[in-house]
């Protein structure tokens, strides 16, 4: 047994009497030791939970009490050694678990003179944390529900054209099932809008709608973002780990846009998730059972990519359960004017305006090719409303690249585009401008640009070199 040291003079008699009165009225264990671990002051609660009388405890050393099994660990000695507060869980002889904190008190010379130890029942702390967590979870659910309503706010489809009506009928037919849907369509045709429509009319409508653009995820973080990771999985990771986007869709719908951009090694991992309904986080050997409905989308030809080996054949057949083709805007000219009126109405209400477009402008809209599809049209309408809001001249509208019908009739489009010279020079100018446009539209991706231009990649490279074009 450790030799009992003489009581320190650090606590004077009057102070001891006052402290005893305070300690005795505390409901939780609390006691004071010297730097050697000898108990100087305590309340009855501490002695009780250690299965000792108060007098026995006051004549003890904490190291001896641990050695005899009255409790599993003492923080008091460690607090002296570390010269800082120490907190840990400990269990007493009566099988009670406490969260104990030992705090050192320093003298005028900066030396540890006393250590104050206090403890609270772990069950009480857990109950408090659980209550706090429940409130936090409830708050998060309210916030998520609000965001979900905003995200999935109903957007009426403009579908006067037969092709778009067929796409909507197909969506209605499959919406209430669990089948995977694969959406095909050019950029800006509204693939995500249709995905939200499918979710709203599905059995998972009350669950989350998680939208992921596979092409926008950083290459080195795609796996951890999609599948999540355990704590310590890699340098810079959240120390608590992180839930993945696939796991976040549990009970709802996962929308994987630009699925063709998913790296090949992760395509096989996604396939396993679809086959087994189990997701495994990075750094974990255990799987988590999940249930979600998958909607995938792409503007590329997955069938061709499958044959070329750039997209997994097995994943293609797993995704191609119910394909829906969304027509481009140039394939549905009947919808152009209804769309214009719809966006004008939305923006007029938003800005408290009454903007209208003249017949020439509407005619130009009707005959424009709209390579950016509905997204381009929406932006064009918004630009004109904003210009009206800013009281800008109507002349500025010609800068958008959509000339009025009158200008087109008079051949002013050639001046607008700066086309002058011989037929060869004009042809080269147009070719250069269009290659520049397609490069920008494809984000500088040469394979995609060449595919859209209908030429081989090497031919595109030669033309870029001759026109001194950069990616």
pLDDT per residue as tens digits for the range 60-101: 999 999 999 999 988 999 999 988 889 888 998 888 888 899
Query: Whole-prediction pTM value?
Result: 0.54
Which residues of the chain, if any, have pLDDT below 50? 1-10, 146, 151, 392-400, 403-410, 412, 416
254 CB-contact burial (10 Å; exposed 0-12 / middle 13-18 / buried 19+)? buried
**Residues spanned by CATH 1.10.8.60 within the chain?**
330-416
The CATH architecture of the domain made up of 13-125 is 2-Layer Sandwich (3.30)
253 burial via Cβ count (<10 Å: 0-12, 13-18, 19+): buried
pLDDT for residue 139: 60
* Pair 107, 34: CB distance under 8 Å: no
Q: State residue 53's pLDDT score.
A: 87
Domain limits, CATH 1.10.10, in the chain: 423-466
**Domain at 423-466, CATH from 1.10.10, 1.10.260, 1.25.40, 1.10.1660:** 1.10.10
Q: What pLDDT digit, counting tens, does each position of 123-173 carry?
A: 776 666 555 555 555 565 555 554 555 545 555 677 778 888 888 889 888
pLDDT score of 14 = 58
Range list of H helices, 178-290: 191-200, 222-227, 245-248, 264-276
Numbered ranges of CATH 3.30.450.20 in the chain: 13-125
- At 295 the pLDDT is 96
Residue 404's pLDDT is what? Answer: 46
Domain 152-327: give its CATH architecture: 3-Layer(aba) Sandwich (3.40)
Q: Which CATH code is given to the segment(s) 330-416?
A: 1.10.8.60
* Residues 193, 154: Cα–Cα separation, whole Å: 9
Name the segment(s) of the chain with CATH classification 3.40.50.300. 152-327
pLDDT of residue 234: 61
Which pLDDT does position 55 carry in this prediction? 87
Q: Phi and psi for 187 in degrees, rounded to 5?
A: -60, 130
The reported pLDDT for the residue numbered 2 is: 43
């Amino acid at each position: 047994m450790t030799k009992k040291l003489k009581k320190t003079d650090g606590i004077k008699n009057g102070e001891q009497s006052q402290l005893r009165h305070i300690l005795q009225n505390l409901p939780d264990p609390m006691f004071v030791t010297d730097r050697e671990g000898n108990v100087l002051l305590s309340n009855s609660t501490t002695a009780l939970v250690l299965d000792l009388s108060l007098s026995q405890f006051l004549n003890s050393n904490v190291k001896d009490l641990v050695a005899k099994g009255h409790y599993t660990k003492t923080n008091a000695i460690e607090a002296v050694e570390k010269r800082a507060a120490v907190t840990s869980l400990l269990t007493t002889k009566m099988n009670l678990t406490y969260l104990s904190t030992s705090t050192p008190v320093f003298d005028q010379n900066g030396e540890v003179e006393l250590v104050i130890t206090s403890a609270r029942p772990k069950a009480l702390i857990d109950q408090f944390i659980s209550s706090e967590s429940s409130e936090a979870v409830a708050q998060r659910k309210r916030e998520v529900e609000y965001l979900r309503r905003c995200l999935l706010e109903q957007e009426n489809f403009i579908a006067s054209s037969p092709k778009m009506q067929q796409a909507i009928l197909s969506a209605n037919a499959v919406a209430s099932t669990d089948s995977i849907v694969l959406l095909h369509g050019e950029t800006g045709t509204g693939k995500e809008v249709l995905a939200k429509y499918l979710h709203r009319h599905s059995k998972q409508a009350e669950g989350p709608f998680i939208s992921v653009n596979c092409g926008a995820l950083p290459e080195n973080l795609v796996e951890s973002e999609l599948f999540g990771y355990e704590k310590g999985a890699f340098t810079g990771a959240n120390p608590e780990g992180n839930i993945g986007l696939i796991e976040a869709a549990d009970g709802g719908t996962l929308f994987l846009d630009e699925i063709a951009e998913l790296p090949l090694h992760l395509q096989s991992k996604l396939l396993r998730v679809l086959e087994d309904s189990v997701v495994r986080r990075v750094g974990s050997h255990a799987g988590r059972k999940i249930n979600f409905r998958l909607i995938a989308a792409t503007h590329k030809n997955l069938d061709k990519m499958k044959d070329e080996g750039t997209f997994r054949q097995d994943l293609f057949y797993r995704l191609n359960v119910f394909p829906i083709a969304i027509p481009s805007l140039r394939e549905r000219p009947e919808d152009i004017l209804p769309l214009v009126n719809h966006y004008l109405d939305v923006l007029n209400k938003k800005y408290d305006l009454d903007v209208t477009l003249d017949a020439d402008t509407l005619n130009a809209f009707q005959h424009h090719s709209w390579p950016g599809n509905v997204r381009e049209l929406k932006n064009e309408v918004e630009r004109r409303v904003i210009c009206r809001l800013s009281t800008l001249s109507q002349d500025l509208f010609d800068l958008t690249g959509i000339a009025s019908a009158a200008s087109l009739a008079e051949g002013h489009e050639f001046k607008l585009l700066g086309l002058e010279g011989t037929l060869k020079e004009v042809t080269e100018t147009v070719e250069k401008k269009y290659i520049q446009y397609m490069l920008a539209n494809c984000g500088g991706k040469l394979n995609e640009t060449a595919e859209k231009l209908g030429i081989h990649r090497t031919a595109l490279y030669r033309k870029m070199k001759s026109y001194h074009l950069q990616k």
